[in-house]
Amino acid sequence: MKSVSILGATGSIGQSTIDLIARDPDAYRVVALTGGRNVRQLAADAQRLGAEIAVAAHDDAFGELSTLLAGSGIEVAAGRAALVEAAARPADWVMSAIVGSAGLEPGLEALKQGKTLALANKESLVCAGRLLLETATAHGATILPVDSEHSAIFQALVGEEMASVERVIITASGGAFRDWPMDRLRTATLAEASCHPNWAMGQRITIDSASLFNKAMEVIEAHEFFGLQASQIEVVIHPESLIHSLVGFADGALMAHIGPPDMRHAIGYALNWPQRQHLPVERLDLARIATMTFRSPDEARHPALRLAREVMEAGGLSGAVFNGAKEHALDAFIEGRIGFLDMATVVEAVLERLSGEDLGAASMDLETVLHADTSARREADEAINRLRLRAHA
Ligand code: NAD
Ligand code: MG
């Protein structure tokens, strides 16, 4: 029986993970489930799966969670420290599916158990890829990618040598605004940016898909996780979202991973790795699909991909700065404080402002990463205020 914990259990990835685990209850023992504001969902899942402990990320949720789980025998805790402690509980397999840099520290704690971390939280790789990989090595832990593109690359690499890899091609759906003209993008609303054409995901990653910031993060994620040079990573728009990514080898061969746009595939692969087991995902009928299309991304519309290359060149803590600024700009867009295209303007301004801080050479531990994250959010706030002043002038 495999013991599992799910960090961010109430989110989109967390719920898909629970869907797979709940289909085979005899195969799993659930240790910790953690959630944010959706305390009812957290309590219901903890009951259903017979979790050892349920943890809400915010202190003020303790009362409600305790009431909901009274008499169940399930331990209850709340707050940041409790969340980090829950991540450190021994479990064979931990799903890291908290959104944002808030997922970094719990992920690091889970790695210190020396077991397997299924990593959906791409922000932690972007902020602190080196720290994450070094922690895994130091504790004999395994990181398995769950982002669909990286799972695809990982699967295409089975039995291959990295030395024979020439390039990877990361596919992108193009997001909600794939076919919109530039001037319409300027006034794109939150509701419009929150609808993905192919994937059902959390709101933040859905908006990041429309701005291509999600793809920019994934390029950095591939650079960090697979140790690829920026020049080896290409992005292609593939509106059907059926090929999840490709690996190009020295002999010119391309290995593609093809499947329906259903995250249970990548999650299930990580859950069953190194084996493959039956998964409840649609089987593709290629004759019915008939065509798959591809085109180059338009970087003039979406500066995020160019910024990702700058971040990879600078290295060090610039990923943490990029991610912190992006998260803060995204918050401002969600709150209606800035427009859709302003997000990239803010991130670029922060990268420029903090580029003098020798981010590339700085040593990387949790403290320095969180410091870079905080500085980036502060600079982003100033950039947002400057933009708003200009808009009102
Ligand atoms: P989501 O918003 O649906 O869920 C996020 C989870 O994190 C929830 O359980 C929420 O309660 C919790 N959470 C939010 N803020 C928190 C905080 N400050 N502290 C602790 N917990 C907090 O997000 P999602 O779409 O499931 O994405 C989760 C992660 O997986 C993200 O890093 C995302 O980029 C990545 N990812 C998601 C998908 C997808 O299909 N949804 C695909 C690839 C990668
Ligand atoms: Mg992805």
Q: What confidence tens digit (pLDDT) does each residue in 256-274 have?
A: 999 999 999 999 999 999 9
Question: Whose alpha carbon is nearest atom 20 of ligand 1?
Answer: 57
Of all atoms in ligand 1, which is nearest to the CA of residue 38?
A: 11
DSSP string, 330-390: HHHHHTTSS-TTHHHHHHHHHHHHHGGG-TTTS--SHHHHHHHHHHHHHHHHHHHHHHHHH
Q: Is residue 35 within 6 Å of ligand 1 at its C-beta?
A: yes
Q: Is 56 in the pocket of ligand 1 (CB under 6 A)?
A: no
Pull the structure tokens for residue 391: 């808009």
Residue 221, both tokens = 């994620």
Whose atoms come closest to the Cα of 199: which ligand?
A: 1
Query: Which residues have a beta carbon within 5 Å of ligand 2, which is an ion?
Result: 147-149
Averaged confidence pLDDT in the chain: 96
Bridge partners of residue 75, in order along the sequence: 53
Nearest CA to 227 among 130, 306, 369? 130
Task: Go through the chain and tell me how many residues it has.
Answer: 393
Q: Which stretches within the chain are classed as H helix? A: 12-22, 39-49, 62-68, 80-87, 104-111, 122-139, 148-156, 182-185, 190-193, 203-211, 213-226, 264-272, 286-289, 304-314, 318-334, 342-354, 366-392
CA–CA separation, 242 vs 199, rounded Å?
A: 11
Ligand 1 pocket residue status of 199, Cβ below 6 Å: yes
Please, which pLDDT band fits residue 360 given cuts at 50, 70 and 90?
A: low
CA of 289 relative to ligand 1 center, distance in Å: 31
Q: Determine the residue of 18, 84, 99 to mutate for testing ligand 1's pocket, defined as the one with the most ligand atoms within 8 A of the Cβ atom.
A: 99
Please report, to the nearest 10 degrees, the dihedral formed by the alpha carbons of residues 315, 316, 318, 320 taken in order: 130
Contacts (Cβ under 8 Å, ≥6 apart) of 368: 317, 362
Give residue 362's pLDDT band: very low, low, confident or very high (50, 70, 90).
low
Compute the distance from residue 17 Cα to the ligand 1 centre, in Å.
12
Average pLDDT over residues 291-303: 93
pLDDT-derived band at 393 (thresholds 50, 70, 90) equals confident
Half-sphere exposure of 248 (CA within 13 A, CB side): 12
User: What is the spatial distance between Cα 229 and Cα 226, in angstroms, rounded to a whole number?
Assistant: 9
| 187-216 mean pLDDT | 94
**Alpha carbon of 101 to ligand 1 centroid (Å):** 10
pTM: 0.97
How far is C-alpha 300 from the chain's CA centre? 25
Cα(147) to centroid(ligand 2), Å = 5
Testing ligand 1's pocket by substitution, the residue of 60, 98, 218, 264 carrying the most ligand atoms inside 8 A of its CB is 98
- Cβ atoms within 10 Å, residue 316: 19
Closest residue by Cα to residue 203 from 8, 377, 57, 11: 11
Asked whether 201 lines ligand 1 (CB < 6 A), one says: yes
pLDDT tens by residue, 298-329:
988 889 999 999 999 999 999 999 999 999 99
* Sequence-ordered list of residues with C-beta below 8 angstroms from that of 208, at least 6 positions apart, any chain: 214, 217, 326, 330
Ligand 1, closest atom to CA 37?
Answer: 11
pLDDT for 299: 86
Per residue in 63-99, pLDDT (tens digit) is 999 999 999 999 999 999 999 999 999 999 999 999 9
- 13 Cβ inside 6 Å of ligand 1: yes
End-to-end alpha-carbon separation of the chain, Å? 64
Pocket of ligand 1 contains residue 105 by CB under 6 Å = no
Amino acid type, 152: A
